[in-house]
Structure 1
């Protein structure tokens, strides 16, 4: 009588025991597709790093060396005078402090305003929720050129012309529009069982927000905090219009001041770009783990 051997899921039939430490076969780890993807990733990495390499080459190159040998040559000497010229010409410590405190305040206030607004829309279930979220979406689509004149007149009327607080107020509202749109979609699917259990335990709305909702969305809030800081740091057009004197201007405006009408000192501009890039690079490296955890936690949830 023939014996029929059934193979249970996850079990291997006799004589086909997998080798310990042997990786399972799949199309991504074997075959030509793996090498094609690897080559594509290398090409993309080179294209992304090429501008930074060119910037490093020209940041430590003298103007005569740049004019003679071009932007792609190796520097004849380690020229650091361009960094000194940029530091002194634009008063970089002042510009750096202006960018740090405005970007930091916008990040914190923008995240807080986004959370409160999204909590009211997503969990509070206000009337016209979809219309309100649509308004926030449209606000993110408006170009800054449309907003700059009324914002400029508004800040002048309330006495915040040429003040860093005008940048804080404007970009707190702009960034929180995106944050509200994102968080309202997340909180709209928040488990009702958690909210009902907290309400039965006697928690009011504020306790539900701080003790139930906030711990769940904290990874998303950390990602928004990092993005808001970097986005505000890189803003140029509105700060250029709002801030008219050197003691209130930010780092991107300081870089733009190196470009004249008829002459451009490329080595000094590259040196300034390198110096201006270091704070944001350190900020990103410091919060890289937080950003990775936030994105991963959001994907899992």
Structure 2
């Protein structure tokens, strides 16, 4: 009697999983392109740093691409004293910080009403906020100037804070309303069954889940407002209320420009924004990552 022995099924060799650090030439090509792009973006900053410590004689004789023959610091001292840089720094920080906090708060309340409250005509209102983001500041400057003169807020920091709070919150409302429209209804229903009111739901349920996104908006609102030039130039005419970008533009004359002093002013004006970004870089990366995971 023949004994039949079972034959083992052929084992197919497992394909090795490619290591993420060795994925071929394309990975290195992308990395090289990113490095080249970063270096290209740093070229203007390198020229600014080079000419900030160059004397006017070196700049006029050898041009902006030459290496300075001496370490010239008079441009930095001139900018610091002529424009009263500490005061301008305080004005910019006050306006940008106030707009960042108020813009995030207004955006959160508006988006909560539109995204979760289900206001009637929600799509039309969100579209109106989107349209407001597309309007150029040049089209708004005269109405804003006229209204500020009529209500007595012209040449005050409060006028700029109110204007940029409305402008920034238009973008924040559009973004947060889209996020809140996909908020899990089960969490809201569970909170309602526990007897939570609308304010309790906002601060105990919605706000903790949106905290990374709100942190990203806070950082963006601060940097965007810090760099604004046109509206502060029109609305703030007094030397005691002007911001850093307006003070930097005041160094340029009608027919003569001190290029080393201007570069020195641009350099020292850029330092606070870079420090702010470096301090909150981890918060920004964490907020973007959390938004991608959701």
Answering whether residue 18 of structure 2 is matched by residue 24 of structure 1, we say yes
Is 1:156 matched with 2:161?
no
5 Å-filtered alignment, 1:75-86, equals 75-86=68-79
1:89 counterpart residue number: 82
After TM superposition, give the deviation of residue 4 of structure 1 in Å: 0.7
Q: Normalized against structure 1, the TM-score is what?
A: 0.93
Which residue does 1:268 correspond to in 2?
261
Q: Show the counterpart of 1:69.
A: 62
> What is the rounded CA distance, in whole Å, between the counterparts of 1:93 and 1:163 in structure 2?
18
- State the SS of the aligned residue for 1:183: helix
Could you give the per-residue CA deviations for residues 149-175 of structure 1, whole angstroms, max 9, x where no partner exists?
111111111110100000000000000
Aligned residue for 1:110, secondary structure, equals helix
Counterpart pick for 2:163 among 156, 163, 170: 170
Aligned equivalent of 1:121: 114
Q: Which residue of 1 aligns with 2:270?
A: 277
TM-score (norm 2): 0.95
The alpha-carbon deviation at position 29 of structure 1 amounts to 3.1
Equivalence for 1:40: 33
Aligned length: 289
Deviation at 1:93, TM superposition (A): 1.0
TM-superposed deviation, 1:39:
2.4
Q: Which of 197, 202, 205 pairs up with 2:198?
A: 205
RMSD over aligned CA atoms reads 1.5
Structure 2: tracts of 5 or more residues without a match: 1-5
Deviation at 1:77, TM superposition (A): 1.1
Equivalent position to 1:221, from 214, 220, 224: 214
Q: Report SS of the residue matched to 1:162.
A: coil
Q: State how far apart, in whole Å, the 2-side matches of 1:123 and 1:249 are.
A: 40
Moved more, 39-48 or 248-257: 39-48
Q: Secondary structure at the residue paired with 2:32?
A: helix
> Which of 3, 6, 19 pairs up with 2:8?
3
Q: Within 1, Cα distance between the matches of 2:35 and 2:64?
A: 23
Question: What CA distance in whole angstroms lies between the structure 2 residues aligned with 1:30 and 1:113?
Answer: 46
Q: Which runs of 5+ in 1 are unaligned?
A: none
Matches within 5 A, 1:184-199: 184-199=177-192
